[in-house]
C-alpha cells in the first residue's frame, strides 16, 4: 500500500488539504455522486465558481483521516465506523466499483474494499435540506399578469 496518508472520502469542504473527487448529481430525492477523472484542489477559487451554492453540498471531498479527532473513528480498532455502518445498511448501488480518482489512498476502500465502492455513490456528505417554507414557495403557482 502507498505510504500516503489515507483519505476520508466524506470530509467537510473546509478540511485542510481537501481534494474534490466527485460532484453531487441526480435529483433532490435521489442524489448520486458522479466521480471526476482527476481530483481538484478544494480552493476558494473553485467555490467562487458556484455562484453562491454551498461547495459542501455540491462536491464530494476527500481529506486526510482525522483519526481520533473524528466522531466516526474507532480509537481502539483504528477503523472508520461510518463506512462500517454504510456497508451494513445502505443498499448496493453499483455492481462493480465506481470509477474513482482517490481509490489508492481511500480509507473506506482500504477498510471495506469493493463493498464500500458499491455504495459510495449514495453517500452525500452534506445533504441539501429543503425547508417547509422553501417547499411552500416552490409550490406557489406564478402570479397572474395584472392588467
Ligand atoms: S469508497 Fe470507493 S468509490 Fe468511494 S471514495 Fe473510496 S475508493 Fe472511491
Secondary structure class of 81 (helix, strand, coil): helix
The yes-or-no verdict on residue 85 having pLDDT over 70 is: yes
- For 44, residues 6+ apart whose C-beta sits below 8 A from its C-beta are none
Position with higher pLDDT, 130 vs 6:
6
Q: In whole angstroms, give the CA distance from residue 99 to residue 129.
A: 28
86 lines ligand 1 (CB under 6 A): no
Percent of the chain with pLDDT over 90: 54
Residue 130 pLDDT level (bands cut at 50, 70, 90): very low
All structural domains of the chain with their residue ranges: 7-139
Q: In whole angstroms, give the CA distance from residue 132 to residue 137.
A: 9
- The number of residues making up the chain comes to 147
CB 86 within 8 A of CB 121: no
pLDDT tens per residue, range 16-74? 999 999 999 888 778 889 999 999 999 999 999 998 999 999 999 999 999 889 999 98
65 lines ligand 1 (CB under 6 A): no
Report how far ligand 1's centroid is from the alpha carbon of 48 (Å).
26
- Looking at ligand 1, which atom is closest to the CA of residue 106? 6
pLDDT tens per residue, range 117-128? 999 998 887 765
Q: Whose CA is nearest to atom 3 of ligand 1?
A: 117
Amino acid at each position: 500500500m502507498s505510504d500516503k496518508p489515507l483519505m476520508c472520502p466524506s470530509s467537510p469542504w473546509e478540511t485542510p488539504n481537501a481534494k474534490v473527487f466527485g460532484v453531487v448529481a441526480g435529483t433532490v430525492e435521489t442524489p448520486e455522486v458522479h466521480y471526476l477523472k482527476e481530483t481538484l484542489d478544494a480552493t476558494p477559487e473553485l467555490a467562487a465558481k458556484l455562484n453562491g451554492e454551498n461547495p459542501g453540498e455540491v462536491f464530494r471531498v476527500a481529506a486526510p483521516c482525522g483519526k481520533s479527532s473524528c466522531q466516526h473513528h474507532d480509537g481502539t480498532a483504528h477503523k472508520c465506523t461510518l463506512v462500517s455502518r454504510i456497508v451494513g445498511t445502505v443498499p448496493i448501488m453499483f455492481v462493480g466499483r465506481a470509477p474513482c480518482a482517490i481509490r489508492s489512498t481511500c480509507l473506506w476502500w482500504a477498510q471495506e474494499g469493493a463493498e464500500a465502492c458499491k455504495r459510495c455513490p449514495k453517500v452525500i456528505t452534506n445533504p441539501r435540506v429543503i425547508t417547509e417554507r422553501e417547499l411552500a414557495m416552490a409550490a406557489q403557482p406564478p402570479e397572474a399578469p395584472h392588467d
